Amino acid sequence: MNTHYPSVLLENAVNEFAKLPGIGKKTALRLVLHLLRHDNESVSHFAHTLARLKEEIQYCNCCYNISDTEICGICADLSRDATTVCVVENVKEVMAIEKTIQFKGLYHVLGGIISPIDGIGPSDLEITSLVERVKNGEVKEVIMALSATMEGDTTNFYIFRKLQPYDVKVSIIARGVSIGDEIEYADEITLGRSILNRTPFDESYKLVK
Amino acid sequence: MNTHYPSVLLENAVNEFAKLPGIGKKTALRLVLHLLRHDNESVSHFAHTLARLKEEIQYCNCCYNISDTEICGICADLSRDATTVCVVENVKEVMAIEKTIQFKGLYHVLGGIISPIDGIGPSDLEITSLVERVKNGEVKEVIMALSATMEGDTTNFYIFRKLQPYDVKVSIIARGVSIGDEIEYADEITLGRSILNRTPFDESYKLVK
């Protein structure tokens, strides 16, 4: 007896959940048993939501963020600064930056990051569309807001080279000591970068503007 | 701006996942974005599996374990000892005990444990059906294999009283020092219980029979 599941239906559901990242067989079983304790309606609602998600989801024709409409709410918002475009990996980063209420420009969602180890090359990402956007549009500044990792840096350099022929300023978000962090425990690369990129200080300085 | 999701479809899917135990909004978003990276077919397969799970799942008419048939594979197996019934909380415990290959009897799955704090009383569990099974059947021994918690003990006592009028032996799985555990770190209740319930030792003694 290799498998100990008393039901194929149960086993199938466990296997589907276990395909998700960070969810093993034990957690999957716990989730499935949880669903079984609910009424038919809420489980079929869950299933229906999932089915609709993939079938009906759209991506903004301008910034390639997930959207319910052809042009997303941010791109359609005329009060935002269309001359500044922030390049991010994914919708998660758009949400994180929107939460800061510090950015009033538009976004460009790459849909990933250059990562040879995962088989993701530049052609898998929305880089050509970014270059087109810069070529055709009113973009004056592109802010790179990718992760501070090897893959992020590779992608930064690749995009920087692709944008070099055009009259656009390319900047990168500041790297430095996180707010709340103690200097003693900051790693030396972060600390070195935060010294190189020091900013003017006066009495009106606040941690968050 | 309270919600930062760029899409209602996305938000709905995140909310559905976040209803599952141990999954917060952040993990839910990660899971949904993972599904979006897959092809339509595998996501609709996931949705379909979930819908089928709840609609078609059955419970064994004899032991109330999850089953694809009216009588589950264990209850239908004539080579198993129908005079011994092991009472467990859930399908997870059936699977765990089956894995040990130490038990050849049948099961009775309560579907939970008496827990006033969660609003679960005896009538919510398969206790009446257990008593019926003992009353009508060939059961000679009922082994209680519930968690060694307050709720487990309450359920043990409740079931013991319900079974007292009948000619059936009620036993409980051994509590003691776990294999691999050091005596030094065992809690005093476990250690005390393991001394009270000591077993005869001779040269043929093995940790697992």
Q: What is the pLDDT of residues A81-130, one digit of tens each?
A: 999 999 999 998 898 888 888 889 999 999 999 999 989 999 999 999 99
Q: For an interface test with B, which of A5, A8, A9 has the most B Cβ atoms less than 10 Å from its Cβ?
A: A9
CATH label of the domain that carries residue B134: 3.40.1360.10
Residue B50 Cα, gap to closest chain A Cα (Å): 6
pTM higher than 0.80: no
CATH label of the domain that carries residue B48: 1.10.8.420
Q: What is the mean pLDDT of residues B62-67?
A: 92
pLDDT confidence band for A1 (50 / 70 / 90): very low
Which residue from B36, B56, B66 is facing A54, i.e. has the nearest CB?
B36
Same domain, B164 and B84: yes
How many domains does one find in chain A?
2
Same domain, B44 and B103: no
Q: What is the mean pLDDT of chain B?
A: 87
Which domain does A146 fall in, by range?
A: 59-173
Residue B141 belongs to a domain: yes
Residue A36 belongs to a domain: yes
Q: Chain A residue with minimal CA distance to B6?
A: A67
Residue B50 belongs to a domain: yes
Residue B190 belongs to a domain: no
Q: Give yes or no for residue B142 having a pLDDT over 50.
A: yes
pLDDT the model gives residue B8: 86
pLDDT confidence band for B2 (50 / 70 / 90): very low
pLDDT confidence band for B205 (50 / 70 / 90): low
Residue B12 Cα, gap to closest chain A Cα (Å): 7
Same domain, A50 and A98: no
Same domain, A65 and A147: yes
Subunit contact B92:A29, Cβ cutoff 8 A: yes
Same domain, B18 and B90: no
Per-window interface: B 86-125 vs A, CB < 8 A: 90-92, 94-95, 98-99
Residues on chain B touching A44 (C-beta within 8 angstroms): 51, 54-55
pLDDT confidence band for B110 (50 / 70 / 90): very high
**What tokens were used for B13?**
């899917």
pLDDT confidence band for A202 (50 / 70 / 90): low
Q: Give the least confident one: A17-26, B164-173, B193-202.
A: B193-202
Continuous segment of H or E residues that includes residue B195: helix B188-196
Task: Report which of residues A141 and B205 the model is more confident about.
Answer: A141
Residue B155 belongs to a domain: yes
pLDDT the model gives residue B39: 79
Per-window interface: B 9-68 vs A, CB < 8 A: 9-10, 12-13, 16, 19-23, 27, 29-36, 38, 40, 43-58, 60, 65-68
Residue B64 belongs to a domain: no
Contact call for residues A103 and A95 (beta carbons, < 8 A):
no
- Cα–Cα–Cα angle for A97, A98, A101, rounded to 5 degrees: 100
Same domain, A43 and A73: no
Same domain, A80 and A50: no
Residue B114 belongs to a domain: yes
Residue B204 belongs to a domain: no
Q: Strand pairing of B105-109 and B169-172?
A: unpaired
Subunit contact B57:A16, Cβ cutoff 8 A: no
Same domain, A18 and A68: no
Q: Check if B150 contacts A (Cβ < 8 Å).
A: no
Q: Strand pairing of A58-59 and B58-59?
A: unpaired
Q: Give yes or no for residue A40 having a pLDDT over 60.
A: yes
pLDDT the model gives residue B1: 37
Subunit contact A6:B38, Cβ cutoff 8 A: no
Q: Which residues contact A140 (CB under 8 A, 6 or more apart)?
A: A83, A84, A168, A169
Same domain, A25 and A85: no
pLDDT confidence band for A205 (50 / 70 / 90): low
Per-window interface: B 154-173 vs A, CB < 8 A: none
Give chain A as a DSSP string: -----S-HHHHHHHHHHHTSTT--HHHHHHHHHHHHTS-HHHHHHHHHHHHHHHHH-EE-TTT--EESSSS-HHHH-TTSEEEEEEEESSHHHHHHHHHHT---EEEEE-SS--BGGGTB-GGGTTTHHHHHHHHHS---EEEE---SSHHHHHHHHHHHHHHTTSS-EEEEPPP-PPTT--GGGS-HHHHHHHHHT-----TT--S--
Same domain, B144 and B88: yes
Q: pLDDT for A152-192, tens place per residue?
A: 889 999 999 999 999 999 998 888 878 777 777 778 888 88
Strand partners for B106: B85
pLDDT confidence band for B208 (50 / 70 / 90): low
Subunit contact A91:B6, Cβ cutoff 8 A: yes
> What one-letter code names the amino acid at A148?
A
Same domain, A72 and A39: no
Same domain, B90 and B167: yes
Subunit contact B53:A35, Cβ cutoff 8 A: yes
